[in-house]
Copies of this chain bind each other. A is one copy, B any other.
Amino acid sequence: MAKKQVTFADIAEYTHFSKTTISRYFNHPDSLTLENQEKISQALDTLGYKKNKLAKVLANGKSEFIGIIVPNLYLHYYSEMLTQLLSSYSNYHYKFLVFSSEHGAEEEQQYIEELLSYQIEGLIVLSHTLSSQKLASYQIPVIAIEREAEYISSITTDNYMGSLQATSLLIRDKCDILIHINVNVEKTVPAYDRIRAFEETCKEYQVPYDIDLSVSGNSYQEILNVIRRIFTRIEEKYPNQKKGIFLANDTYANMFLNLIFQKYGKLPPTYEIIGFDNSPIASESILPITTVGQQIDVIAQTAMELLVQQMEEQKKRAPKPLEKPIHKQITPVLIRRNTTS
């Protein structure tokens, strides 16, 4: 601590006011005469005052902190979401304490304890490790984004609508066989709706379909190998049919497209491909990929609105916690590019 901080006491002494008046200068300036405002204002920069928000928080209980827990930032979806959340600073002036966690529940609970000890007013959770029941038990406004959220409020993409749009496009384009490629997602996860919608839509329109949930792996290479296997299988099984492939995300879609290109040097008319997420890879691919675009900005914005609302409620004298969690769905948009006709 080089030189001690300048405090209200110092300013008060210097200006011959009381600390209270200095406090008021910041919080209710109109209650001072213009003359005195000016005096204090002068004193502030001759003394070089710098405010101390922590002291303020301790005194009034409003930390303006929001905790965020993301699984990682490697996936574009998460880093983009974080960007959008951070950018809400200009509207709400909440500060964000960010933790990245995907190594188990204990670690994550520790992080939350730590966050709580900093008096965060709210929490945004994107990781999947803790149950919503556990999260609800912390007695603090929580918003889940795209995860299981039975006991807490949440924002999710309308996965059903997204998948429906993709599937419909493939049907409209007269594909002979529709194929959905995905990991074996749990039914509690919102993204499971992508599988549901695909299947139900295919059934409704009575088109043949094939659902392959064999994707797995922790590295790009591992996953690529699985996709290659799937590609081979499809090539063998549906040789002369027009294949409409709907993949769980753009990374898979890009892999699949690359395999096709490596074999044929182009995208033959017997293939249509649709991804999910509208991540950068979808446009950077050898052929810009048609994809279901998640409206990450809208999701982030909605999450903040919901959270702010609940945090405001907490500040009232008799805060009424939500009777039921609020769940909102954001409709994704189909972005047509060059892998569909």
Contact = CB atoms under 8 A, between A and B. Distances in A.
Interface stretch (A10-18, A76-84, A182-190): A76-84
A117 B72 CA distance: 29
> What range describes how many residues of A lie at the interface?
35 or more
A97 B100 contact: no
B61 A86 contact: no
A55 B1 CA distance: 18
A117 B262 contact: no
A258 interface: yes
A119 B54 contact: yes
Contacts of A55: 58
A73 to B, nearest CB: 4
A117 B1 contact: no
B51 A54 contact: no
Interface of A: 1-2, 50-55, 57-58, 61, 63, 72-74, 79-80, 82-83, 86-87, 89, 95-100, 113-114, 116-119, 139, 220, 251, 254-255, 258, 261-262, 265-266, 280-281, 283-286, 314, 319
Contact of A286 (B96, B251, B261, B314): B261
A219 to B, nearest CB: 10
Contacts of A280: 74, 220, 281
A258 B98 CA distance: 37
Contacts of A52: 117, 119
A265 B19 CA distance: 76
Given A2-B319, A281-B284, A74 B63 contact: no
Contacts of A281: 280-281, 284
Given A2-B139, A73-B86, A79-B82, 16 more contacts: A2-B314, A50-B116, A51-B117, A53-B117, A54-B54, A54-B58, A74-B80, A79-B79, A82-B98, A87-B100, A89-B99, A95-B97, A95-B114, A255-B284, A258-B285, A280-B281
